[in-house]
Amino acid sequence: MKEADGIYVLDTGSTDKTVELLQKNGVNVIQKIITPWRFDVARNESLKLVPQDADICVCTDLDEVLLPGWRKHLEQVWTKDTTKLSYIYNWSLDEQNKPLVTFYYEKIHSRNDYTWTHPVHEVLQNINNNEVRKLTDSIILNHYPDKTKSRSSYLPLLELSVKEQPQDDRNTHYLGREYMYYGMWEKAIKTLKKHLRLKTATWDLERCASMRFIARCYAKLQNKKQALYWLNKAVLESPYSRDPYIERALYNFQLKKYQKVIEDVEKALTIPKNGKFYINEVFSFNEVPYDLLSVSYYYLNNKQKALENINKALDISKDNQRLLNNKAFILNMK
């Protein structure tokens, strides 16, 4: 953040030397406990620290790092009437710093035109009816989360968010997904079906994701008929994206329907990478599709195709011991 004219941090309860280290580096730090905790309230409190005459706010968290040169790119793309900027956000990276999940983020905004809303998965809401958006691929923000940190507050905050705004399609989808993560299969199904009924739930990729998640829940409930029904609906909802095909292939693999696995994976591989959306699944673009093909061909006694695809999987995940073991099995096929 050192390219900024001023850096302002709201510390909401750190117990280490965060404040001391920030102050040593010239950062303006205020400590405030937010009770009850809400992300939108905390964001708005942090925004209050920024002088009213500031032109542009660049909002990041302490586990996010902007690549150098961001200010120059920001000054080039921002115009007098711009109020919000979308930019590249690498939400997940591998050990070699290669992006795994990338989408557009929009937490760069004009100082006095926005307020934060929603208790969790908070968003910027324009309050002056003057929103003008710009987009750039030149500003890149990388995310390095602390994987030991608990996210247990998300579920009750999502429940609160949907209670406050029951017609909000995005957070209804998020809540259904969160119930799924917690293994609350029936609640997840009910909430995700509600998402699909909302008039504003029109984004096909997100609708497809809700259908895939419903299928996952039915699979966990051992309801094979409903799981396949919703996987088929997901494919029809978004036939030009890889995710529903690979998701259906993964389920058919569990059912040992190897020819169906091959058909879905080969269809998926004809589809280029999706756009930069948070909804994209990592498993659609890593070694998984080739792994599925390899094992399926193995069980169908096609050694050549099994070997061909295990090699493609290993090109992506070179040190994967399970894949290496699989290759040895394939080479020993008669």
Q: Which helix (H) or strand (E) holds 88?
A: strand 84-93
Range of the domain at 210: 154-285
Domain boundary among 242, 263, 285: 285
Contact status, residue 112 vs residue 55, Cβ threshold 8 Å: no
Which tens digits make up the pLDDT trace of 101-112?
Answer: 999 999 999 999
Token pair, residue 274, equals: 């999706």
Q: pTM of the full predicted structure?
A: 0.90
pLDDT at 227: 98
Angle at 36 between CA 175 and CA 114, to 5 degrees: 70
Quick one: pLDDT at residue 172? 98
- Encoded tokens for 182: 């917690």
Residue 305 lies in a domain: no
Question: Do both 223 and 134 map to the same domain?
Answer: no
Give a yes or no: residue 17 inside a domain: yes
147: pLDDT strictly greater than 90? no
- E strands within 121-191? 123-126, 133-143
Q: What is the CATH number of the domain that holds 60?
A: 3.90.550.10
Q: In the predicted model, is pLDDT for residue 274 greater than 80?
A: no
Same domain, 185 and 118: no
The band of 9, judged by pLDDT with boundaries at 50, 70 and 90, is: very high
Given a cut of 80, is residue 82 above it in pLDDT?
yes
State which amino acid sits at residue 82: T
pLDDT band at residue 291, thresholds of 50, 70 and 90?
A: very high
> For position 275, what pLDDT does the model report?
78
* 2 part of a folded domain: no
Given a contact cutoff of 8 angstroms between Cβ atoms, the answer to whether 136 and 87 are in contact is: yes
* pLDDT score for 21: 96
Q: Are residues 257 and 130 in the same domain?
A: no
200 and 172 within one domain: yes
Q: Which of 86, 119, 143 is the last residue of a domain?
A: 143
Average pLDDT, the chain: 95
What 8-state DSSP symbol labels residue 272? P
Q: For the chain, how many structural domains are there in total? A: 2
On whether both 58 and 164 belong to a single domain, the answer is: no
Torsion of CA 247, 264, 280, 161, to 10 degrees: -40
Residues 78 and 132 in one domain: yes
pLDDT in tens, 64-74: 999 999 999 99
Sign of CA dihedral 222, 228, 233, 237: positive
Mean pLDDT of 301-329: 95
User: Is 180 part of a structural domain of the chain?
Assistant: yes
Asked if residue 103 is part of any domain, the answer here is yes
Q: What pLDDT score does 286 carry?
A: 93
Dist CA 226 CA 224 (whole Å): 6
Same domain, 210 and 261: yes
Q: Establish if 334 belongs to a structural domain.
A: no
In a domain, 20, yes or no: yes
My answer on whether 181 and 270 are in the same domain is: yes
Instruction: Indicate which CATH number applies to the domain containing 257.
Output: 1.25.40.10
Over pLDDT 70: what percentage of the chain? 100
Q: Is residue 27 part of a domain?
A: yes
**pLDDT tens sequence across 148-205:** 888 888 999 999 999 999 999 999 999 999 999 999 999 999 999 999 999 999 999 9
Residue 315 CA to its chain's centroid (Å): 25
pLDDT of residue 116: 98
Rounded to 10°, the helix 169-181/185-197 angle is 160
- On whether both 189 and 81 belong to a single domain, the answer is no
Residues in a beta bridge with 92: 101
| 83-132 tens-digit pLDDT | 999 999 999 998 889 998 999 999 999 999 999 999 999 999 999 999 99
In a shared domain, residues 46 and 118: yes
* Across 48-67, average pLDDT: 96
pLDDT digits (tens, 9 = 90+) for 17-44: 999 999 999 999 999 999 999 999 999 9
What integer pLDDT is reported at residue 155 of this predicted model? 96
Could you tell me the two tokens for 328? 């040895």
Q: Are strands 84-93 and 133-143 parallel, antiparallel or unpaired?
A: parallel
Q: What are 334's two structure tokens? A: 């008669």
Same domain, 254 and 128: no
Q: Residue 261 above 80 pLDDT?
A: yes
Checking 41-50 for CB contacts under 8 A at 24+ apart, the result is 41/116, 42/10, 42/12, 43/116, 43/122, 44/115, 44/116, 45/10, 46/8, 46/9, 46/10, 47/114, 47/115, 47/116, 49/8, 49/9, 49/10, 50/6, 50/8, 50/111
pLDDT of residue 150: 80
The last residue of a domain, from among 77, 111, 143? 143
Whether residues 258 and 167 share a domain: the answer is: yes
Res. 6: pLDDT tops 90 = yes
